[in-house]
A and B are shown apart, each in its own frame.
Chain A
Amino acid sequence: MKITGNVWKFGDDVDTDLIIPARYLNTSDPKELAKHCMEDADPGFAGKVTTGDIIVGDKNFGCGSSREHAPIAIKAAGVSCVIAKSFARIFYRNAFNMGLPILECENAGVFKTGEKLSVDFDTGEIVLAESGKSYSTKPIPPFMQELVQSGGLMKHIQKRIK
């Protein structure tokens, strides 16, 4: 699968309170959560982001809470994938479990807000549209690929229940 989207760039240690503040955790409705996605990092984000856009962070993206509301908010806001130098581990698990594609890229720091990227999930290659320059990402472990292919963890489990 290949996607193309515009970059929204954030820095190091984007925590789950920035992604979705706890004051909105009295619901798990994806549409409601999407309205407040990244609110404390960029108050107008939910109004500016368009379907297919890509969030890029530096190191330790998604640190903090275990709230699955964080990847849910990002996905429901229309974001097609998240690219970062590294991810916090619970966020990493949650993203796979609920089907938000994420990629670890050493060079995530070079991408800037407004740039257009195309991402090939099969090869893990990221191409900067304007320059045509390509960047590689860390391969997704086979077990995680299996999870993605079965459509997330619950689909994986459902097969076992039946």
Chain B
Amino acid sequence: MGMTLTEKILAAHARLDRTEPGDLINAKVDVALGNDITAPIAIDQFYKSGAKGVFDKSRVILVPDHFVPNKDIKSAMQAKKLREFAREQELEYFFDGGEMGVEHALLPEKGLVLPGELIIGADSHTCTYGGLGAFATGVGSTDLAAAMITGEVWLKVPETIKFVYKGELAPWVEGKDLILYTIGDIGVDGALYKAMEFTGPVIQELGMAGRLTMANMAIEAGAKNGIITADEITEGYISDRAVREYEFFKSDEDAEYSEIKEYDVGNIEPQVAFPHLPENTKGISEVGEIILDQVVIGSCTNGRIEDMRSAASVLMGKKVAKGTRLIVIPATPLIYRTALDEGMFDIFLDAGAIISPPTCGPCLGGHMGVLAKGERAVATTNRNFVGRMGHPESEVYLANPAVAAASAVLGKIGGPGELQ
């Protein structure tokens, strides 16, 4: 019996010839990642354990991106803890100030997470790196502390569900819509404890941004990881960025899957996930009249340059509706600069948008766009739980950047096709 991509990467990192679903393994970690919310607890645990040094100064990466630029004194104290730890431990990759970006956009861009690697991060959206053909999964602060010290993590080898996407993408349908549609189909625990392997001709032609978006939201179906076989598109993205050697793995022809799901993407229109779960999806034509107070375009899900371009193409020459606030958040300094160089800042500013520095901020109701009681937002982010972006009686709808941009102009949820 052959092995899946996920099983192969896990076996390689556990120094085993093969692994099977259900096996408990102790695996070598290529990168251990933390942010300003999760790393403070890990740092406390690190010192409490009596550890003196991290296992590898170039493989423990800290990015204070959630409540940074510091939103209040307590947040400032948390970020300071990361700064001091990074200095003391002489971490090679600590991104602060003008170098800081949203972690899951920043690390791929810097070539710090690579195909075939095993990456853990104390952030649930660490699964994003599966888009590069890596095994990447979110853990808690204690797991991070243990990995910072030992360079290892214990894992149960997951079963894999294979998703096959065929057909022609309809206009304005992106990676975001494919993953929202999939979550709508299988539910927020549809892949609980499992690996989601995204395959098929549509995925083979999907660009890196769309792949990262899809893997990013695997956690919203309860998955341990989302993964896409690395190919020429991956190579094209990574070859000039990679800071280490890397290896491409692929699933065997006779690999065993717990389930195989096939989708004809031609039937999928741009998706909107209604409050308060990502599985509450509807096609854009079925949304009805949802008046908006705020629109957010950004995050580790959809804050990449391709997302900025998509939003800008819709916003060009248009104005944000009166009564609606549009916040655009390029996810990294490079994306920010590229958007500026390509003239997108003019488009966004002319439209009446606010351009925020890179931060996770509003996605988790942290800062830079918190919702008041009764307010409604469309966001290109990943979660629409109760209170996710602010007041428990506010509402979040999830969509792709083009739909979010069109909705900002309309003042209500709608697709680019509705703009004249």
Q: Tell me the A residues contacting B by CB distance below 8 Å.
A: 13, 15, 17-18, 21-23, 25-28, 39-41, 59-60, 63-69, 72, 86, 88-90, 93-94, 97-98, 141, 143, 152-154, 156-158, 160-162
B145 at the interface (CB under 8 A from A): yes
Q: Which of A22, A39, A59, A90 contacts B365, CB < 8 Å?
A: A22
Q: Which of B344-390 contact A (CB under 8 A)?
A: 364-366, 370, 383, 385-388, 390
A17 with B74: in contact, given A26-B67, A154-B48 (CB under 8 Å)?
no
Docked pose: A98 CA to B387 CA in angstroms: 26
- A154 x B387 contact (CB < 8 A): no
Report how far A60 CA is from B24 CA in the complex, Å: 22
Known: A27-B74, A63-B188. A89 touches B146 (CB 8 A): no
Task: Give A25's nearest chain B residue, CB to CB.
Answer: B37
Q: Which of B188, B387, B390 is in CB contact (< 8 Å) with A13? A: B188
Minimum Cβ distance to chain A for residue B183 (Å): 12
Please give me the residue from chain A that is nearest to B44 by CB atom.
A28
Q: Contact: A17 with B41, CB < 8 Å?
A: no
How many angstroms between the C-alpha atoms of A13 and B280 in the bound complex? 13
**Pairwise interchain contact A89-B142, C-beta atoms closer than 8 A:** no
Q: Which of B95-103, B133-141, B398-406, B409-417 contacts A (4 or more CB under 8 A)?
A: B133-141
- Pick the contact of B139 from A23, A60, A90, A162 — CB < 8 Å? A90
Nearest opposing residue in chain B for A88, CB measure: B222
Using A17-B386, A66-B138 as known contacts, say yes or no to A26 and B75 having CB atoms under 8 A apart.
yes
Q: How far apart are B71's CB and chain A's nearest CB, in angstroms?
A: 7
Shortest distance in angstroms between A154's beta carbon and chain B's nearest beta carbon?
5
Say whether B388 contacts A17, CB under 8 Å. yes
Check if B154 sits within 8 Å of A90, measured CB to CB.
Answer: no
**A67 CB, min distance to chain B CBs, angstroms:** 7
Query: Can you show 9 pairs from A to B with CB atoms below 8 A apart?
Result: A60-B192, A63-B222, A69-B41, A88-B222, A93-B140, A98-B140, A154-B49, A154-B142, A158-B50
Contacts of B48 in A (CB 8 A): 154
Residues from 211 to 258 in B contacting A, C-beta threshold 8 Å = 219, 222, 224
Is A13 a contact partner of B138 (Cβ separation < 8 A)?
A: no
Is B145 within 8 A of A154, CB to CB?
yes
Check A13 against B142 for contact (C-beta < 8 Å). no
Answer yes or no: B167 CB below 8 A from chain A CBs.
no
Does any Cβ of A come within 8 Å of B51's Cβ?
A: yes
Minimum Cβ distance to chain A for residue B50 (Å):
6
Task: List 20 extra interface pairs beyond A39-B392, A72-B41, CB under 8 A.
Answer: A17-B383, A17-B385, A21-B387, A22-B365, A22-B366, A28-B40, A66-B38, A66-B138, A66-B140, A67-B38, A68-B122, A69-B37, A86-B189, A86-B192, A94-B140, A94-B141, A153-B142, A153-B146, A156-B146, A161-B50
Whether B123 and A66, one on each chain, are in contact in the complex, defined by CB atoms closer than 8 angstroms, is yes
Q: CA of A132 to CA of B196 in the docked complex: distance in angstroms?
A: 42
Bound Cα distance from A28 to B188, whole angstroms: 27
For residue B313, CB closer than 8 A to chain A, the reply is no
**Contact, CB under 8 Å: A60 / B189:** yes
In the bound complex, do residue A153 and residue B143 qualify as a contact, i.e. CB atoms below 8 Å apart?
A: yes
B193 contacts the other chain (CB 8 A): yes
Asked whether any CB of chain A lies closer than 8 Å to the CB of B277, the reply is: yes
Seen from chain B, the residues whose Cβ lies within 8 Å of a Cβ on chain A are: 24, 37-38, 40-41, 44-45, 48-51, 66-67, 71-72, 74-75, 78, 121-124, 126, 138-143, 145-146, 149-150, 154, 188-189, 192-193, 219, 222, 224, 277, 364-366, 370, 383, 385-388, 390, 392
A160-B71 contact given A17-B386, A88-B189, CB 8 Å threshold: no
The smallest beta-carbon distance between A72 and chain B, in angstroms, is 8
The answer, among A13, A63, A143, A157, for a CB contact under 8 Å with B146, is A157
Are A40 and B192 in contact, CB atoms less than 8 angstroms apart?
A: no
Which residues of chain A come closer than 8 Å to B51, judged between CB atoms?
Answer: 161
Assess A89 versus B364: contact at CB under 8 Å? Given A17-B387, A59-B189, A68-B41. no
For residue B187, give the distance in angstroms from its CB to the closest CB of chain A: 9
Which residue of A has the minimal Cβ distance to B22? A141
A88 to B142, CA, bound (A): 17
Q: A22-B365, A66-B124 are in contact. Are A13 and B189 (CB under 8 A)?
A: yes
Which residue from A63, A143, A156, A161 sits with its C-beta under 8 Å from B24? A143
Bound-state CA distance A63–B37 (Å) is 17
Whole-angstrom distance from the CB of A87 to the nearest CB of chain B?
A: 9
- In the complex the two chains form, is B193's CB within 8 Å of A15's CB? no
Query: Which residues of B have CB within 8 Å of A59?
Result: 189
Minimum C-beta distance from B228 to chain A (A): 20
Of A41, A68, A157, the contact of B49 (CB 8 Å cutoff):
A157
Partner of A141, one of B24, B50, B146: B24
Whether A18 pairs with B385 at a CB distance below 8 angstroms is: yes
Greatest chain B CB density within 10 A among A28, A41, A156 is at: A28
A28: B residues at CB distance < 8 A: 40-41, 44, 78
Cβ-defined contact, B142 with A68, below 8 A: yes
Task: Tell me if B45 and A154 are in contact (CB < 8 A).
Answer: yes
Find the B residue at minimum CB distance from A90: B138
Contacts of B123 in A (CB 8 A): 65-66
Across-interface contacts of B390 in A (CB, < 8 A): 23
CA gap between A108 and B51 in the complex, in Å: 41
Q: How far is the CB of B275 from chain A (nearest CB, A)?
A: 12
Chain B residues positioned under 8 Å from A39 (CB to CB): 392
